[in-house]
């Protein structure tokens, strides 16, 4: 069970997954075909309100179609989620150094953001892939949320545990 709790194993698995993902051309990892097998008419009223620009391209139901928009949202949610988890895991790993909690959070966020920059650089070397600064910002924001929310909770919990460990009751 210790293996499941070891953050270094999870960090390694995520980094290896990111490496292979960013080395794979878009045509080999597109999920449009599987998504087309489903009926998405029920989602169109909700997706009709989506309208913004991402990296200079319009993102809306009209510009991408239902399946294209759903794929876009899934891919960007994956960016956010992976870096959310990575940021939290980096907090746990960096906290082993016993530096100040604020520096732990900052360093963990910087590590995760650096991974995001490297991931986009690696994509620039892959055919059919486009490195985007917007993806780095999304990755960095996901990492920040993971660092602050999960990492902050971990540090608070750890601090409470330490403060109780030295307590002795006198009679």
Tell me if 114 sits within 8 A of 35, measured CB to CB. no
pLDDT band for 151, please (50, 70, 90 cuts).
confident
pLDDT of 4 reads 62
CA atoms within 13 A on the CB side of 14: 21
Assess if residue 10 is contained within a domain: yes
| Separation between Cα atoms, residue 124 and residue 53, nearest integer Å | 21
The mean predicted confidence, pLDDT, of the chain is: 90
Burial of 105 (0-12, 13-18, 19+ CB in 10 A): buried
Structural element, H or E, at residue 101: helix 101-124
Assess if residue 170 is contained within a domain: no
Assess if residue 9 is contained within a domain: yes
Assess if residue 41 is contained within a domain: no
| Separation between Cα atoms, residue 159 and residue 171, nearest integer Å | 26
Cβ neighbours of residue 135 under 8 Å, at least 6 residues apart? 79, 116, 119, 120
Residue 67 scores a pLDDT above 60: yes
Assess if residue 69 is contained within a domain: no
Residues in the chain: 171
User: Structural domain tally of the chain?
Assistant: 1
Cα end-to-end span (Å), the chain: 39
From residue 1, give the alpha-carbon distance in Å to each of 5, 158, 164, 165. 7, 20, 25, 24
Assess if residue 39 is contained within a domain: no
Assess if residue 123 is contained within a domain: yes
What is the pTM (predicted TM-score) of this model? 0.86
In terms of Cα–Cα distance, which of 143, 121, 144, 145 is closest to 132?
121
Residue 148 belongs to domain spanning: 2-31+78-162
pLDDT band for 74, please (50, 70, 90 cuts).
very high
Residue 171 scores a pLDDT above 70: no
pLDDT of 137 reads 97
């Amino acid at each position: 069970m210790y293996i499941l709790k070891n953050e270094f194993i999870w960090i390694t698995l995520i980094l290896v997954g990111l490496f292979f993902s960013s080395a794979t051309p878009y045509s080999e990892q597109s999920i449009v075909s599987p998504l087309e097998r489903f009926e998405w008419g029920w989602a169109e009223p909700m997706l009709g309100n989506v309208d913004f620009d991402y990296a200079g391209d319009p993102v809306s139901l009209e510009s991408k179609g239902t399946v294209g928009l759903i794929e876009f949202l899934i891919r960007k949610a994956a960016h956010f989620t992976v870096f959310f988890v990575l940021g939290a895991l980096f907090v746990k790993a960096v906290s082993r150094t016993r530096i100040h909690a604020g520096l732990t959070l900052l360093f963990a966020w910087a590590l995760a953001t650096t991974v995001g920059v490297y991931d986009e650089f690696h994509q620039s070397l892959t055919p059919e892939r486009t490195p985007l600064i917007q993806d780095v910002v999304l990755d960095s924001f996901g990492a920040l949320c993971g660092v602050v929310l999960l990492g902050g909770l971990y540090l608070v919990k750890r601090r409470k545990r330490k403060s109780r460990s030295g307590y002795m009751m006198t009679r």
